[in-house]
Structure 1
Amino acid sequence: MTPAAFEHPPVAAILALGVTQIIGYGTLYYSFSILAPDMARGLDWSQEWIFGALSAALLIGGLVAPAMGKWIDRFGAGRVMTSGSAIAAAALAACALAPGKIAFVIALIAIETASNLVQYAAAFALLVQTQPRLAQRSITYLTLIGGFASTIFWPITTTLHAHLSWQNVYFIFAALNLLVCLPIHAWLAHSAGDTGTREKAGATRRVEPGLPAAARTPAFVLMVTGFALESFVNAALLVHMVPVMSALGLGAMAVMVGTLFGPSQVLSRFINMVLGGGLPQLTLAIISAMLLPTALVILLVTAPSVAGALVFAVIFGLGSGLSSIVQGVLPLALFGSDGYGQRQGKVISARLVVSSTAPFALAFLIGNVGISWSLTITAMLGTVAVAAFLAIRRLMRTSAPAEVALARGEP
């Protein structure tokens, strides 16, 4: 039996991280769409400009993500997340206090930059640094908990906003990051530091790369391409899901269909936790990538059928939920635990840069070529993501025999 078979996932760390991920995604991301109309009125902006500012902030956050990855490898994910909680709290407060549009945009950029320091990428790195051999299982458990962020924070934000201004809601969210997330991250940083000391005494806990050295660079490019295209499809459809289904003739049923997306995300993570333990991570990546264009094709072929739209929402949610897991575990399986943070920073950068353009790109396509062609093009991009992951599998099969031959001195 492998050493990992005698180890147990860090349950306390996973539960604690689950709390901070729910708060992190809920306060820094999911709350924005609910508060945006009030923000627009207060700043005398249109909602289009408010969401444009969010896209710009996401883009800049993506550009600085590689630096975040280097900090994680150098200082430890726990320390980075502790600092990130303080920055997130300050950025939320600054956004609430912003006297005008320029100050608001600067604070929004700070919020999205802080997001990179406290959300999944950093949390995955902390689990890898704590117990590398158990990180794949731990990441699955964490994404299952984090999947409830929208379910919890959409109603919380709506309820708070019914009685408070968006500024006061942001002050409350700043306090959550400062008083709940920061102490948890500080505790995790201390625990990870102790574990790191033990790691130096036993290098056997490292996860070795699953790829031959010659295949790693092209495989990394293919992996980043696949993740970026998946993120594009996800981001485009999440923002436009209800309008797209309404345009396809579903009318008032579009909102009800859209509510199935979140539970389907959680369901996919639960199924993977129970049944996916023996599944290779690259196979999981291929499955998750295939589900997204498949869902779009079903929507196109069956519209305006409500049953077809329900199937679309469930399958799309399943693919999106699996994708969150894959983005944490596939880099670990292919490239090992050394330098994990830096690789995650590059992956996050590519994903955010591409996905920040997705809502605008799909809106532009719908306005110029119509809803059916727009969804067809989006499905084709999702298919390219599948091809990228399949190419990694082929690379693994062709590179391994070549490396063995080289080691033997054969031509």
Structure 2
Amino acid sequence: MPPRLRLIATLSLSQILGWGTTFDMPGVFGRMIAAELSMANETAFAGLTVMMLVTAFAGPTTGRLVERLGAARVLACGSALFGLGLLLMAAATGPILYFAAWLVIGFGSAFGLSVPCYAAVVEREGPDAKRAIGILMIFTGLSATVCWPLLSLGQDWFGWRWTLAVSALIHIGALVPLHLFGLPAIRGATAEATAASQEEPLAFSPAQAKRALLLIAIVSIAFNLVTTGIAPSLIELITQAGATPELALQLGALRSVFGISARAIDTVAGRRASPLFTGYAAAILMLAALPILAFSGGEPWLLLAFVACYGFGSGVSALSRALLPLGFFSPGRYARISANLSLPANLAMAAAPVVSTFLLDRGGATALLVYCAGLCLITLAALAGLSLIRRQVR
């Protein structure tokens, strides 16, 4: 198998299962676990907050470990921690062990998702990493589409506890060795490759570089608040809009299909579509989705239109978040800048599920939609600021 194909295939599988059995999992099991452990729904979803808080504060450590040990070993450690955390959750009888499980999963997320995954690509692809990351994200967006039906099937057959236990064994028994032995070797650096990786796409002044980093951080934060806020509650949100539980599950699973399609289109047009254009498209699509849901009246075709707009928008927003640093800074600085951005971005991901669940349960769908509309407008303003800086430099 060609090295690039093996790289993308290995990381795609690990990211699908990594996201699907952890961050996406409460979308299917969250309210079941809350009922069985006698917790409020927002308390159960606060496990995602614990996960993302740990991920955020472990970010700088992750960067140092990747530099010292290489991304493959860090990813293997992440899979082992995922397995341990899921086993703890399967055994939970109350909030203490439940949140201890999310604490372990949080470290697994820091070592097994996103930053070390993209660092593994940059290690092996260098200046060509942008396109490889785009292709990888096409497949990793399948996490909910693949895992939600499988988790639901596991619940029907075995219950949520045994389903989590089986997921843990997959992480430990399959993904740990896959990361250690399945990734292609890192190619030796050449003088030309090293020079290309250090070439800056824009001649920033120090002040402009700081403003660009700040605005990229705002884009990442706002996108994370919208996408990771809505995603775990998407089925409930569609149900409150008038869908049956079966239709809500089907539409919720389609969200990732639309996201994958959007990423594929963006990747194919990658030489013409900049990360800034991708960001504008994502924000506009998600903003357009909100009134469609608000005025859907439970009509299936309008609910489908909402999921399509939201799915397309959330799909390309992930590409924009990952690739914006490469659009403004050199590939050689990508890992360091991504590590710096991961702290505020992951803090936003930590807060998003609890805030969104609270708004949905206490204020209904309207409160959540107004909140998300405000975040989309903030994103558009930050992207406009980045466009202005780009024009000033050029």
TM-score bracket for the superposition, by shorter chain length: 0.7 to 0.9
Q: Which of 199, 218, 234 is the matching residue for 1:225?
A: 218
Paired AA for residue 26 in structure 1: G
Given candidates 344, 347, 352, the residue that maps to 2:341 is 347
What do residues 311-336 of structure 1 show as CA deviations (whole Å, max 9, x unaligned)?
Answer: 22111100111112222222122122
Does the Cα contact within 8 Å between 1:121 and 1:328 map onto a contact in 2?
no
1:404 matched residue in structure 2: none
The offset of 1:305, in angstroms, is 4.8
> Which amino acid is 2:378 matched to?
V
How far did 1:238 drift? 2.2
For residues 96 and 370 of structure 1, the distance between their equivalents in structure 2, rounded to whole angstroms, comes to 31
Q: State the partner residue of 1:235.
A: 228
Query: How many angstroms apart in 1 are the aligned matches of 2:358 and 2:13?
Result: 37
Tell me whether 21-30 or 366-375 shows the greater mean CA deviation. 366-375
CA RMSD of aligned residues (A): 2.8
The structure-2 alpha-carbon separation of the partners of 1:222 and 1:257, relative to structure 1 and needing over 3 Å to count, comes to: same
Which shifted more, 64-73 or 366-375?
366-375
The amino acid across from 1:260 in the alignment is L
Cα deviation, 1:336-356, whole Å, max 9, x if unaligned, reads 222422322333322221233
Between the aligned partners of 1:245 and 1:26, the Cα distance in structure 2 is: 20
Q: 1:359: which partner in 2?
A: 353
- What is the one-letter code of the residue matched to 1:19? L
> Which of 194, 206, 214 is the aligned partner of 1:203?
194
What is the CA-CA distance between 1:256 and the residue it aligns to? Answer: 5.0
CA distance in 2, matches of 1:39, 1:362: 18
**CA–CA separation in structure 2 for the residues paired with 1:62 and 1:199:** 34
Among 246, 253, 256, which residue is 1:262 paired with? 256
Letter paired with 2:272: G
Shift in Å at residue 213 of structure 1?
A: 4.0
TM-score by length of 1: 0.84
* 2:115 corresponding residue in structure 1: 121
Paired residues, number: 390
1:229 shift after superposition: 0.6
- Where do 1:101-112 residues align within 5 Å? 101-112=95-106
Alignment of 1:306-321 (within 5 A): 306-321=300-315
Pair 1:297 & 2:291 matched: yes
Deviations 1:159-207 (A, max 9, x none): 2333334333233222211222112211356712xx2x43578513415
In the alignment, which of 250, 265, 271 is matched to residue 271 of structure 1? 265
Q: Which has the larger radius of gyration?
A: 1
Query: What is the aligned counterpart of 2:21 among 15, 24, 27?
Result: 27
Number of the residue aligned with 1:407: none
1:77 to 66, 71, 74: 71
CA distance in 2, matches of 1:367, 1:97: 28
Q: State the 1:43 CA deviation.
A: 3.5
What does 1:134-153 correspond to in 2, within 5 Å? Answer: 134-153=128-147
Q: State the SS of the aligned residue for 2:189.
A: helix
8 A Cα contact 1:72 1:342, kept in partner: no
Match of 1:176 among 170, 177, 194: 170
Aligned partners of 1:204, 1:266: CA distance in 2, in Å?
33
Unaligned 5+ residue runs, structure 2?
none
Between 114-123 and 300-309, report the one with greater CA deviation. Answer: 300-309
Of stretches 384-393 and 274-283 in structure 1, the one that deviates more from structure 2 is: 274-283
Distance in 2, matches of 1:175 and 1:139, equals 28
Give yes or no for contact 1:282–1:389 (8 Å, CA) kept in 2.
Answer: yes
Structure 1 residues 99 and 12 mapped into 2: Cα distance closer, same or farther (>3 Å)? same
- Deviations, residues 109-156 of structure 1 (Å, cap 9, x unaligned): 111221122123321111112112221111111111112222222222
Compared CA separation, residues 269 and 219, structure 1 to 2 (3 A):
same
SS class of match (1:183): helix
**Distance (whole Å) between structure 1 residues aligned to residue 362 and residue 96 of structure 2:** 32
State which drifts further: 336-345 or 176-185. 336-345
Q: Is residue 198–residue 331 contact of structure 2 (8 Å, CA) maintained in 1?
A: yes
How many angstroms apart in 1 are the aligned matches of 2:244 and 2:161? Answer: 34
Report how far residue 374 of structure 1 moved.
4.2
The one-character-per-residue Cα deviations of 1:27-64 (angstroms, maximum 9, x if unpaired) are 22323433335534553434442222332332232232
Measured in 2, the distance between the counterparts of 1:311 and 1:391 equals 30
Does 152-161 or 237-246 show the bigger shift?
Answer: 237-246
Aligned to 1:329: 323
CA positional deviation for 1:78: 2.0
How far 1:371 sits from its partner (Å)?
A: 4.1
Please say if residues 6 and 183 of structure 2, whose CA atoms lie closer than 8 Å, have aligned partners that are also in contact. no
Please tell me whether the aligned partners of residues 70 and 342 of structure 1 are also in contact (alpha carbons under 8 angstroms).
Answer: no
Distance in 2 between residues matched to 1:100 and 1:297, nearest whole Å: 39
Secondary structure, aligned partner of 2:200: coil
Report how far residue 369 of structure 1 moved: 6.1
